[in-house]
Amino acid sequence: MSARRDGRQIHFMLLEMGAISHNNYGLWRHPDNQRRNFGDLAFWIEQARQLERGMFDAIFFADTLGISAGFGGAPDVALREGMHVPIHDPLTLIPAMAAVTKHLGFAATSSTTYEHPFSFARRMSSLDMLSGGRVGWNIVTSYLPGAAANFGIEPMPHETRYDRAQEYAEVAFKLWEQSWDEDAVRLDKEASMVSDPAKVHAINHEGTHFKVAGPHLMCPTPQRTPVIFQAGSSDRGREFAAKHAEGIFIGGYTEDILLSHVQDIRRIAAAAGRGHDEVRLFAEGNVVCAATDAEAEAKLADYMKLASADGYLAHRFGSGMDLSRYGHHEKIEDIVAAGGPGADHMARYPFPAGWTVGDIIEDAARLDRKRLFVCGGPEKCADEIERWSDTFDLDGFLMRGFLAPGTARDFADFVVPELQRRGRYRTQYEGTTLRENLFGAGHKRLPDSHPGAAYRRAPQGAE
């Protein structure tokens, strides 16, 4: 394992979901956890304020369009645990949080399988305009069978979902980048002209999955195209992410696997003509912090008492791996080789060699066994975060929120000042948009190397 020590600035986003439970099952019962108030707008406003106080790049909303059905195909555990249900549409939460912040970004997950690009592009443009350019789009293709059933269609094969996602992105880029000239909006009182018709264009897209005439219904916004995020773990998913995403989420059950995935994404992105500094790589960061190591350990002990094994196991099973069919001693590679139930899904996960069903179950239920986990005071946490960034060539971390708003508040109080002292974290926001949070002042729009930029119209008079 090689290290890259360059003292780069480290970026942070908080992993969120518009639900009571996302990745921390059982912790909603903690007396200091306000997640039970997820239906109160004041809860989300306070979360946003704490994140901006800590100068996070963004709050990142995961989402789902179906209930995970584990343990024999029933949703009972998901409902009892509040696992992704009940859940808000993330786009409905952003305006209120944007209204009480000036710099915090908002990345929202939306599916290319069940949304239509024309209506989605308008919603994102509206949010980008009203937030001053602070939104991002996490592209997903949606794998849950329950989601397909909710929309009355058969689940799409993996490759078909990504073919559709590719065309969906093309339509969205045409609407955002091509449909309106930069100076199309005139607001010319003398000429009685709001927008110049000669500067607003149909896109006339006709493809395999979509036929969209246009023009886009919204004028150019601060970013035009929202910041693009993606987290595909399959070969096709990594290829899609390396081509399109500006922020990519990297997983891996061991540090060696994590590093290999980072190197693979960097290689694919470079082959697509995208520079190292044009793509930000994030991994999940698990940080339990306090004023001292002892206080942090006490916090973790409280969390562990409340952690629900059923919730974590149902989360695993809901992704297509119903491990209840197998004995704890059975090795994952043997199940995959035999083609047993769920084998196709297991094959897409980079489990360490020799892992058994029991290893997965035990790992899922232990908060302190998550990859990139640290529990301690400011110096210990900062040491580990620096090591993660430098060793794995990571630009930042998607932070797990154990308590809300406690995780964001503690990070701002204890870890941020230490990272700032070391020169690894911003002391002020660089610009006004989410893209500037990630790439620096002046970087409001897609770079020319991004495939979406190819759809831009040449300025009038240009040769």
List the domain boundaries for the chain: 11-295+372-455
For 224-271, the DSSP string reads: SSPEEEE---SHHHHHHHHHH-SEEEE--SSHHHHHHHHHHHHHHHHH
pLDDT tens for the chain, 463 residues long, are 444 446 789 999 999 999 999 889 999 999 999 999 999 999 999 999 999 999 999 999 999 999 887 666 678 888 999 999 999 999 999 999 999 999 999 999 999 999 999 999 999 999 999 999 999 999 999 878 889 999 999 999 999 999 999 999 999 999 999 999 999 999 999 999 999 999 999 999 999 999 999 999 999 999 999 999 998 778 899 999 999 999 999 988 788 889 999 999 999 999 989 999 999 999 999 999 999 999 999 999 999 999 988 887 777 666 566 677 788 899 999 999 998 777 877 777 767 889 998 887 777 767 766 779 999 999 999 999 999 999 999 999 999 999 999 999 999 999 999 999 999 999 999 999 999 999 999 999 999 999 999 999 987 655 4
Residue 135 β-bridge partners? 106
Q: Which H or E run includes 398?
A: strand 396-400
As assigned by CATH, the class of the 11-295+372-455 domain is: alpha beta
Q: From the annotation, which residues make up the binding site for FMN?
A: 63, 109, 158, 162, 233-234
Q: Please, are residues 296 and 382 in contact by the beta-carbon 8 Å criterion?
A: no
Q: Is 425 helix (H, G, I), strand (E, B) or coil?
A: coil
Q: From the annotation, which residues make up the binding site?
A: 63, 109, 158, 162, 233-234
Q: Which residue has the tokens 């300025």?
A: 459
Phi-psi region at 357: left, alpha or beta (left = phi > 0; alpha = psi -120 to 50): alpha
